[in-house]
Amino acid sequence: MSKLEINHLSISFGSQKILDDITFTAEEGEFISILGPSGSGKSTLFNLIGGILIPDEGSILLDGKEITGKRGSISYMPQSHALMPWRTILDNVLLGQEIAGKRDEKKALEMLGKAGLKGYEKHYPHELSGGMKQRVSFIRSLLSPQSLICLDEPFSALDEFTRFEMQNWLLSVWQQYKRTILFITHNIDEALYLSDRILVLSNKPASVQKEFIVPFKRPRTEEMLYSAEFLKWKQDIYREIKQYSL
């Protein structure tokens, strides 16, 4: 049984069909990137998995149980950091747990420390840099009790350097906590560097156009980014996207 099963998911907004017959599965502990052009419906897919939208057709199964239209089954990190400005960093990362009904401050403090945020627990979000806020938002989803994490372009607002740092940090955290991750991005390098599998979505309406299984060994290193093989993969994926979005 797969961790997550997406079966023939379709949805329209008005007369515009956005998602058309999306089908894929995710295994326990797998890191899957979803790659697609802007406006293709990637966030919409997460809204469906998260239960705040109801599909016109199709179903979503988590651990074999149907969760279509049901909320509270996934841990989500939105495209913006979406922190609450009136909560301290510590209270912000505990929000997901609070909603589920239990606060584990000790674990939160430990994870904040590991993320290089020691000493900022009692600060407010506006006192942090963009990268730090993104880390806080990610820790919030990591501390939530749900085992499937959906990340919506978590690093797209960051500069190249911070982005790379955050990717490495994300990989180290993921290797330690082994959660299943769905990761939306429109950066091919990022998808290749992070994931086990890449799903390329087509545009208007979106369906899974192609699936790439990333062959690179873990732990991944910076050298990998400059290898000829990496470049070849990047080209393949790029061609695949271009062919459909034009």
Ligand X SMILES: Nc1ncnc2c1ncn2[C@@H]1O[C@H](COP(=O)(O)OP(=O)(O)OP(=O)(O)O)[C@@H](O)[C@H]1O
Selected from 36, 37, 41, 50, the binder of another protein by CB under 8 A is 50
Give least dist CB 39 to another protein, A.
17
| Closer of 81 and 111 to Mg ion (Cβ) | 81
Q: What's the rounded Cα separation, in Å, for the pair 126 and 73?
A: 30
Residue of 7, 24, 29, 51 that binds another protein (CB under 8 A): 51
For the chain, how far is it from start to end, CA to CA, in angstroms? 37
Contacts of 82 (CB under 8 A, 6+ apart): 137
The single residue among 44, 75, 92, 137 that binds ligand X, judged by CB under 6 A, is: 44
| Among positions 23, 27, 39, 129, the unique one binding ligand X when judged by CB under 6 A | 39
Bridge partners of 19, per DSSP, are 11, 206
CA distances from 236 to 19, 124, 192, 210, 240 (A): 24, 44, 12, 11, 6
Residue, CB closest to Mg ion: 43
From 23, 66, 100, 129, residue interacting with another protein (rule: CB under 8 A)? 100
CB of residue 48 to ligand X, shortest distance in Å: 10
Provide the residue type at 238 as one letter.
Y
Which residues would be at the binding site for ligand X (CB under 6 A)? 13, 18, 36, 38-44, 79, 186
